[in-house]
Amino acid sequence: MRLFRYRGRFFQGVALFLRLLLSYKLLGFRNFLASPQTRKARLSALHARNATMLREHMIAMRGVLIKIGQFMSSRVDLLPEEYTDELSKLQDQVPPTPFPEIALRVTEELGPLEEVFSSFDEIPVASASLGQVHRACLRDGDCIVVKVQYPGIEEVIAADIRTLRFVIRILRLLYPRVNLDVIYSEFSRIVGEELDYLQEGKNAETFARNFAGNPKIKIPIVYWPFTTSKVLTLEYLEGIKITDFDAIDEQGIDRKELARVLAEAYAQMFFLDGLFHGDPHPGNIFVCPGPEIILVDFGMVDRISSPQRESLRRAFGAVVDRDSLGLVRALVDMGFIPLTRDIQPLVQFVDRILQKYRDISPSEFKAMDIEEIGNDIMEALRISPSIQIPNDFILFGRVIGMLNGLGSRLDPDTNIIEIAAPYAKRFIRSEEFTASGVLGQAARSARATLKLPQLLSDFLFTTSRGETRVEITSQQIVEELKNIGRIGKGFIFAVLTAALGLISVFLLINHFETESYWTAGGAVLLFLWVLRIVRRTPFHRE
């Protein structure tokens, strides 16, 4: 019976998807002879109706469908505005589970309520897609909040993930150029991690350590004796929901300062900590006079890996320095843009976009003509049709979009890029002179060296077909000859460095420690010399 129930859930989801799909196909027939204005109006109206129907279905079905809706509400790159606006309401419209089911779950995990708690509120203070939160007091008088996972949620998630996989397969057939597989895999990973409340507790403690020196950010304490994989007990912190602007204004809290504190907190997460809170919707951020910000719900967090940090370092450095070519190269390395032979049109486009949007405030951006923004997006797709969001950056992009929307509501004139710039500069400088930064530079130099034979082969092939066009001046010849000399010298030193490194390892393995250290020292000196040569040699493509 239970299996049939979850299969029925799958078929209901598929039926809704097919109904939505059919409505757009029918509209296409209706619009065959309609004017462009009529087509646009009809499409917008259908978007609104379908978005409402989808949201109501998600609320009725509960479970991970609500999480899917919340996740998609920030994907302005994929969904029309009517959908993102409607699905964003899911942040506040999750119906709670009846208290007897919650009480049974807590009893199974911690023991009878009356033995563990002196009081336990039956009405939840918040309800989400996977669980809900209740206020309570322990026997020693500590005021706490208890986050309880819904009973049977694992089976619900399995059915909903199957539905999502089926829908994405159909969409992949209809829209092969849109890479939806990364959304499925990233969403599946995130939901799996959110089910483990023990990991969420550890995440909360990590964030508390990261912000220990910042009195503006508060993280609730975890009560480990009363925490399991399905029940999480935290310190209760009093605060105002960050979008309750009337209450914020009554407390005399400066909204502009609040937006700055929030932006700085996330800049620290991105650029300094390498670990960020992945779900900054209004229900997870509270405010105290000061202003101080309380962050809750650490189930959806993500780490920025070393390769990501290196790519971001170069990308943000390029934005700060208005280096269009550097930004394009960083985007290629991150997987946003495929590598092409001629990147100059894309560099010119990025240069124009940097000049246009870099110093714009959210209010100015919002006041821009949507058609103008759409034209910029279409031009980017025309220049590089295969632009996509890599799997590693889906959650990162979602957070940026949510923060931008929240920041614009707090203070429309706040420039998030300007606030984040000092953190980005610290991040850029710190990476450049750390061991990992030096090793990264060495790895990039090695990769560039390994690519030389293939680049030479490509050049000879192109030349043999008569497709090479050369435009040089005498000054360019002199400079390039100097560069070739430097590259040749650097290549020789690089080979010697690698050889000395291998010899050093061999000596150390065979217990010739003193000789090993001297050899390693020589390798380091040669490596630094190679690095100096590489930095003095301009690598460019025109």
Interval 394-444: pLDDT, tens = 777 778 877 877 887 888 877 776 777 788 777 777 654 444 454 554 455
Two tokens, residue 200: 């969420």
The closest of 278, 261, 125 to 189, measured between CA atoms, is: 278
- Per DSSP bridges, beta strands 126-127 and 117-120 are unpaired
Condensed to tens digits (0 to 9), the pLDDT of residues 373-386 reads 555 555 565 556 55
Amino acid letter at 124? Answer: P
Pairing of β 285-288 and β 240-241: antiparallel
Residue pair 233/226 in contact (Cβ under 8 Å)? The answer is yes
What's the predicted TM-score (pTM) here?
0.68
* Terminal-residue alpha carbon distance, the chain: 67
Residue carrying the six token digits 């964030």: 207
SS3 231: strand
Distances (CA, A) of 220 to 233, 286, 302, 475: 10, 12, 19, 64
Burial 381-416 (b: 16+ CB within 10 A, else e): eebbeebbbbbbbbbbbbbbbbbbbbbbebbbebbb
Maximum CA pair distance of the chain? 89
CA atoms of 260 and 283, how far apart (whole Å)? 19
Asked whether the beta carbons of 186 and 394 are under 8 A apart, the reply is yes
Given this model, what pLDDT does residue 425 score? Answer: 75
Q: 70, 90 in Cβ contact below 8 A?
A: yes
| Residues 6 or more apart whose Cβ sits within 8 Å of residue 52 | 86
24 beta partners: none
Distance (Å, whole) CA 207 – CA 302: 12
| pLDDT tier for residue 522 given thresholds of 50, 70 and 90 | low
| Amino acid type, 54 | L
The pair of structure tokens assigned to 185 is 């895999």
- Averaged pLDDT, 300-310: 82
Nearest to 157 by CA among 132, 126, 190: 190
φ, ψ of residue 130 to 5 degrees: the values are -110, -15
Confidence of residue 473 (pLDDT cuts 50, 70, 90): very low
CB atoms within 10 A of CB 439: 12
Decide the pairing of beta strands 275-277 and 301-303: antiparallel
The larger pLDDT score, comparing residue 16 to residue 119, is at: 119
Higher pLDDT, 242 or 434: 242
pLDDT tens digit sequence for 176-202? 766 677 677 777 777 888 889 999 999
More confident residue, 498 or 167: 167
Q: Which of 207, 200, 216, 217 is nearest to 147 (CA)?
A: 200
SS (H, E, C) 305-365: CHHHHHHHHHHHHHHHHCCHHHHHHHHHHHCCCCCCCCCHHHHHHHHHHHHHHCCCCHHHH
Highest mean pLDDT among 167-171, 451-455, 523-527: 167-171
The neighbour count for residue 147, using CB atoms within 10 Å, is 24
For residue 165, the surrounding DSSP H or E stretch is helix 153-174
Residue 376, pLDDT score: 57
- What confidence score (pLDDT) does residue 20 get? 87
Q: Distance of CA 239 to CAs 42, 279, 450, 451, Å?
A: 44, 18, 56, 56
Answer whether 401's CB lies under 8 Å from 252's CB: no
Catalytic residues: 279
Average pLDDT over residues 1-27: 74
Residue 1 has pLDDT above 50, yes or no: no
Q: How far apart are CA 26 and CA 23, in angstroms?
A: 5
User: Hey, which residues does 272 pair with through a beta bridge?
Assistant: none
Give mean pLDDT, residues 262-280.
89
Report, as an integer, the average pLDDT of 307-326. Answer: 77
DSSP letter assigned to residue 270 = I
DSSP state of 98: P
Environment class of residue 537 by beta-carbon count within 10 Å: exposed (0-12), middle (13-18) or buried (19+)?
middle
What confidence tens digit (pLDDT) does each residue in 203-226 have?
Answer: 999 999 999 989 999 999 999 999
Q: Is the pLDDT of residue 132 over 80?
A: yes
114 band by pLDDT with thresholds 50, 70 and 90: very high
Calpha distance 408→44 (Å, rounded): 25
pLDDT digits 0-9 by tens, 37-96: 888 899 989 999 999 999 888 888 777 778 778 777 766 556 788 888 888 777 656 788
The yes-or-no verdict on residue 118 having pLDDT over 90 is yes
Q: What is the DSSP secondary-structure string of 28-59?
A: HHHGGGS-HHHHHHHHHHHHHHHHHHHHHHHH
The confidence band for 481, taking pLDDT boundaries of 50, 70 and 90, is very low
* Per-residue model confidence (pLDDT) at position 515: 47
- In this predicted model, what pLDDT tens digit does every residue of 485-519 receive, in sequence order? 555 545 544 555 555 455 554 444 544 444 444 55
Radius of gyration of the chain, Cα coordinates, nearest whole angstrom: 28
Name which of 232, 207, 201, 233 is nearest 219 in CA terms: 207
pLDDT for res 502: 52
DSSP state of 222: B
Taking residue 173's Cβ as centre, other Cβ atoms within 10 Å add up to 8
What average pLDDT does range 349-368 have in this prediction? 64
Q: Select the more confidently predicted residue: 538 or 333.
A: 333
* Token reading at 111: 């023991």
In degrees to the nearest 10, what's the CA dihedral of 490, 495, 498, 501? -90
- In the predicted model, what is the mean pLDDT of the chain? 75
Average pLDDT over residues 139-154: 93
